Amino acid sequence: MVLIRTDNFDKALIALADLVRYAGMEIRGKPKIIPPALSDWAVEKIVGEEPKKKYRAHVVAQVDLPPAKAIGRLREIHPPAHIIVIPPDTPVHKELLKLWGTFEVLKGFYPPKKVQEEEIEEE
């Protein structure tokens, strides 16, 4: 699972598309909007310190990669957002899954076609 924190939902949509297109991640299900207080709590629990910056848009999405691989791929790309990988064995992951059905769906996200594979085939 990844937590995306950014200035607006347009940037969150771009960040999600970047995860698919450039980081090779698959988004499972629909990304959801979460309350800022829950997002700040999640950051504090995962990173170990309070968030330094306040953001307006907070989105969680389930991805198909193990945490270590997802972190490695995030380091290779530069999405327009602050993205944190939430490992499945953490209290934050359990809490987000428990509340998943109560979160609003992020409208406007459609997984882009994977560009990387097409570019590789053309070479």
pLDDT digits (tens, 9 = 90+) for 16-30: 999 999 999 999 999
Residue 73 structural domain? 2-108
47 assigned to some structural domain: yes
Structural domain count of the chain: 1
H/E segment holding residue 50:
none
Average pLDDT, the chain: 88
Residue 99's Cβ-count burial label (10 Å; 0-12, 13-18, 19+) is: middle
Between residues 120 and 3, which one has the greater pLDDT?
3
41 assigned to some structural domain: yes
Q: What is the pLDDT of residue 119?
A: 44
**pTM (2 decimals)?**
0.86
H/E segment holding residue 113:
none
Residues linked to residue 38 through DSSP beta bridges, in sequence order: none
Q: What is the pLDDT of residue 114?
A: 52
31 assigned to some structural domain: yes
Q: Check if the beta carbon of residue 5 is closer than 8 Å to that of residue 56.
A: no
The pLDDT tens digits of the residues spanning 2-13 come to 999 999 999 999
Q: Taking residues 38-64, what's their average pLDDT?
A: 93
Looking at the chain, the whole-number percentage of residues with pLDDT higher than 70 is 90
